[in-house]
């Protein structure tokens, strides 16, 4: 758990980069710090591992005030990934990845096993990459190694500053998906800086939207999209926010909301749609399929009723009523 209590950062006497922020990141939660350039995301992140000092207020990790911790020890126990991956060009991929375990004095066997595990986790073949150097890897591969390196000593908390920002869009999406899958497995407490609303909505359990060093809204992505707190938030998330929010709901949410029961008499000639599908995909399926309905099936293949535009619209009105 990371707690921010009335945190303020003042640079050089007069630049207030962070203005009285209080929020709590729960264990295992993936929180995105989102906002336009210069709003203070990086500053807030770097105060957590004390790369920047805290001007006022406190930050606590697992209840312990970071100011009172041994900086070096605390950083070794906190993953840190930056945009330009910061891999060290003079070290092999293995040495890069194992730098923190090395500092912690792990033995060779343990390091090797950990390296193999991490490379598998990020989808790189350990033996192919072990002895190579950062400059022999593509940007996407380097960023995967950067992620593996930050997780090397299995830190409970990860701090990531636009880690995928330098990748081109197609590779970025792929790496994002992979990272989400990893997070499902490892359940770290993550603070993740982004200026990209799509990335934030895709990845975060929660989003803290910042402006001029203040938190505008700290909420689940769907809340942010559907119930923005103020004009700044709604402008930032964009006019297409309702459509965007579709990707956050699955057909299952709709089934639960309307309490759809098992249904025996299925309509033939109609395509099926799994309840895991997102509503965004569901809409495009309806548009592509010339029929005006799809048969919802659960994970056991049991039909649950039919999905129509009307039903989606009804669901939206219910969810988005405050919007």
Partner 1 sequence: MNAKKVTSYVIRLILWTLVIAFFFWAISENMFGKIFEEPGKFMELLGRHLELVSISAGLAILTSVPLGILITRPSFRRSEWLIVNIANLGQTIPSLAVLALAMGFLGIGLKAAIVALYIYSLLPILQNTIAGLDSVRPEMKDAAKGMGLTPAQVLFKIELPAAASSIIAGIRTAVVLNIGTAALAYLIGGGGLGVWIFTGIQLFDNQTLISGAVPVTLLAVLVDLLFRGIEYLLVPKGIRLARKSAMESV
Ligand X SMILES: Nc1ncnc2c1ncn2[C@@H]1O[C@H](COP(=O)(O)OP(=O)(O)O)[C@@H](O)[C@H]1O
Of 11-19, 70-78, 215-223, 280-288, which part binds partner 1 (CB under 8 A)?
A: 70-78
Instruction: Kindly tell me which residue out of 9, 41, 60, 76 binds partner 1, with binding defined by CB under 8 A.
Output: 76
Please report where in the chains the tokens 């970025």 appear, as a residue. 172
Sequence-distant (≥ 6) Cβ neighbours of residue 163 within 8 angstroms:
81, 82, 83, 85, 143, 146, 147, 192
Residue nearer to partner 1 on the CB measure, 74 or 316: 74
How many helices, marked H, and strands, marked E, lie in the chain?
A: 15, 13
15 binds, among ligand X, Mg ion, partner 1, none (CB under 5 to 8 A by kind): ligand X
Output 150 or 248, the one with its CB closest to partner 1.
150
Spatial separation of the C-alpha atoms in residues 203 and 164, rounded to whole Å: 12
Site string for partner 1, 15-54 (x = CB under 8 A): -------------------------------x--x-x---
Q: What is the closest distance, in whole angstroms, from the C-beta atom of residue 55 to partner 1 in the complex?
A: 19
The answer to whether the CB of 31 falls within 8 A of the CB of 206 is yes
Piece of 8-16, 114-122, 196-204, 266-274 that binds ligand X (CB under 6 A): 8-16
Give the Cβ contact number of residue 281 at 10 Å: 16
Backbone angles phi, psi at 187, to 5 degrees: 50, 55
Q: Under a CB-based contact definition with an 8 Å cutoff, are residues 248 and 221 in contact? A: yes
CA distances from 40 to 206, 209, 215 (A): 18, 11, 10
Distance CA 97, CA 87 (A): 9
- Least distance in angstroms from the C-beta of 9 to partner 1: 17
152 touches 98 (CB < 8 A): yes
Establish if 166 lies at the interface with partner 1 (CB under 8 A).
no
**Which residue in the set 13, 14, 37, 301 belongs to the binding site for ligand X (CB under 6 A)?**
37
Chain residue whose CB lies nearest Mg ion? 42
Tell which one of 2, 17, 34, 42 touches Mg ion (CB under 5 A).
42
DSSP 278: B
Output Rg (C-alpha) for the chain, integer angstroms. Answer: 22
* Cβ 215 to ligand X shortest distance, Å: 13
Task: Please select the residue that binds partner 1; options are 37, 90, 268, 300, rule is CB under 8 A.
Answer: 90
Q: Would you say 188 or 202 has its CB closer to partner 1?
A: 188
Distance of closest approach, residue 17 Cβ to ligand X, in angstroms: 3
**Segment interacting with Mg ion (CB under 5 A) among 9-17, 41-49, 213-221, 305-313:** 41-49
Residue 39 interacting entry, from ligand X, partner 1, Mg ion, none, C-beta within 5 to 8 Å by type:
ligand X
| Segment near partner 1 (CB under 8 A); pick from 6-14, 22-30, 82-90, 287-295 | 82-90
Neighbouring CB atoms inside 10 A of 72's CB total 10
Nearer to partner 1 among residue 79 and residue 305 (C-beta): 79
CB 201 within 8 A of CB 248: yes
- Interface pick for ligand X out of 40, 79, 126, 305 (rule CB under 6 A): 40
Cα gap 295→316, rounded to integer Å: 19
Q: Which residues of the shown chain bind ligand X in the complex (CB under 6 A)? A: 11-12, 15, 17, 35, 37-43
């Amino acid at each position: 758990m990371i707690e921010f209590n009335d945190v303020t950062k003042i640079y050089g006497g007069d630049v207030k980069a962070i203005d009285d922020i209080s929020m709590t990141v729960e264990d295992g939660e993936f929180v995105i710090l989102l906002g336009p350039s210069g709003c203070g995301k990086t500053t807030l992140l770097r105060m957590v591992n004390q790369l920047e000092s805290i001007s006022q207020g406190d930050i606590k990790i697992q209840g312990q005030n970071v100011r009172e911790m041994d900086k070096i020890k605390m950083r070794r126990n906190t993953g840190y990934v930056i945009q330009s991956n910061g891999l060290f060009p003079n070290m092999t991929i293995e040495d890069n990845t194992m730098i923190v375990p090395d500092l912690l004095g792990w033995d060779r066997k343990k390091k090797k096993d950990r390296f193999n595990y991490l490379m598998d986790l990020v989808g790189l073949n350990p033996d192919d990459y072990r002895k190579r150097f950062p400059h022999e890897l593509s940007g996407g591969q380097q960023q995967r190694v950067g992620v593996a390196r930050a997780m090397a000593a299995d830190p409970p908390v990860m701090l990531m500053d636009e880690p995928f920002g330098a990748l081109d869009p197609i590779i970025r999406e792929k790496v994002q998906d992979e990272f989400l899958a990893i997070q499902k497995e490892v359940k770290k407490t993550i603070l993740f800086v982004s200026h990209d609303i799509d990335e934030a909505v895709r990845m975060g359990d929660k989003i803290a939207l910042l402006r001029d060093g203040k938190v505008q809204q700290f909420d689940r992505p769907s809340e942010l999209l559907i119930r923005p707190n103020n004009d700044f938030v709604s402008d930032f998330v964009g006019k297409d926010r309702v459509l965007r929010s579709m990707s956050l709901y699955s057909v299952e949410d709709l089934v639960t909301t309307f309490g759809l029961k098992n249904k025996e008499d299925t309509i033939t000639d109609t395509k099926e749609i799994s309840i895991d599908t997102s509503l965004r995909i569901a809409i495009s399926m309806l548009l592509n399929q010339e029929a005006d309905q799809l048969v919802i099936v659960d994970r056991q293949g049991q039909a649950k009723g039919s999905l129509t535009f009307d039903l989606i619209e009804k669901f939206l009105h219910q969810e988005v009523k405050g919007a």
